[in-house]
Amino acid sequence: MAFSFSYNFLFSSAILLLLHSTSLVAEARSSVPISYLISQKLFDSIFLHKDDTACPAKSFYTYDSFIIASKSFPRFGTTGSLAMRKREIAAFLAQISHETTGGWATAPDGPYAWGLCFKEEVSPQSDYCDSTNQEWPCYPGKSYKGRGPIQLSWNYNYGPAGKALGFDGLRNPDVVSNNSLIAFKTALWFWMTEQKPKPSCHNVMIGKHVPTEADIAANRTVGYGLVTNIINGGLECGIPNDSRVNDRIGFFKRYGTLFKVDTGPNLDCAYQKSF
C-alpha cells in the first residue's frame, strides 16, 4: 500500500509538473514580441516602395514606429497559434496597404508592393464631420479626413482614438499625419477596438468573433472579407467583383506568401450586407 501511494503521488506530481511546464511554454510563446514574426528585413520586403520619392509619405512609416506602436496593444499578433498570429499581422498590413497604396496595375514589382505610400487622404470630398454626433463634436475649422495607415476618418473616430491614445483628436487631428508613432497607434486602435454592432478586426482574425443572428442573416461570414466590411463595408461590400475589395485581397495574398501562412477562407465581402 505504501509503495502504491508513493508511486501514485510521484506519477500525479509528474503530470502536474508537465502540465505546468506546458502552460509556461504556451504563455512564453504568446508573449513573443511581433518583431520575432516580422523582422525589419521582412517589413522592407513587404513595403518595397514606401520610401520612394513618388510617395508623399516617404520616410514617414518606419519599422521602429510600427513595432513600438504595437507594444501599446499587447494582444495584437500574439494570440493563438503561430499561423494565426502571422495571419493577423499579414491581414492588418494588407488592409493598411490598400488604404495608403500608391500602386497601379503596371507598377514596378506589381500593384501590391506599394503600400504605405500616402499618409493622408488626397482631395477629400468633405470635412468628415458628423454634426449629429454630440459625444464627439467637431471643432470649428478642422477636417476629419482620412489620415494615417488606416486612414482614420470622421469625428466619431478621431475623438475616441485620441482619448484612448492621449492626444486631442478633435482639436488636433493633423497629428495623425505628422507623427509616425501616433499614426500607427490609431491604426492599431481601430483594429483592436470593438465598435458595436461591429466586432473588432482582431477578434475576427483570431477566430474569437461568433456571428450574431443579424450577421448570419446578412451573410457576414467570418474571415478577411468581414474585416473589410468592418473597415469600409458601407462603400465596398455587397458588390460582386468590386475593385477595391479585390485590391485588399491582392495585398493579403501577397503578404500571406511572404509570411508563409495561408489566408484562410471568406476573403471577399461581395455578398455581405454592411453593418
Q: Can you state the angle between helices 155-165 and 180-192, rounded to 10 degrees?
A: 110
Cell numbers standing for residue 34: 511581433
Nearest alpha-carbon partner for 245 in 265, 270, 222: 270
Angle at Cα 170 formed by Cα 168 and Cα 176, nearest 5°? 65
> From the CB of residue 154, how many other CB atoms can be counted at a distance below 10 Å?
18
Q: Which phi and psi (to 5°) does residue 19 adopt?
A: -65, -40
CB 149 within 8 A of CB 100: yes
The answer to whether residue 99 is catalytic is: yes
CB 247 within 8 A of CB 94: no
Residue type, 88: E
Cell numbers standing for residue 33: 514580441
Residue 226 neighbours by CB under 8 Å, 6+ apart? 199, 204, 209, 220, 266, 269, 272
What share of residues in the chain are helix, strand, coil (percent, to 5)? 50, 0, 50
Radius of gyration over every alpha carbon of the chain, rounded to an integer in angstroms? 21
Catalytic residue among 99, 120, 121, 236: 99
Kindly list the catalytic residues.
Answer: 99
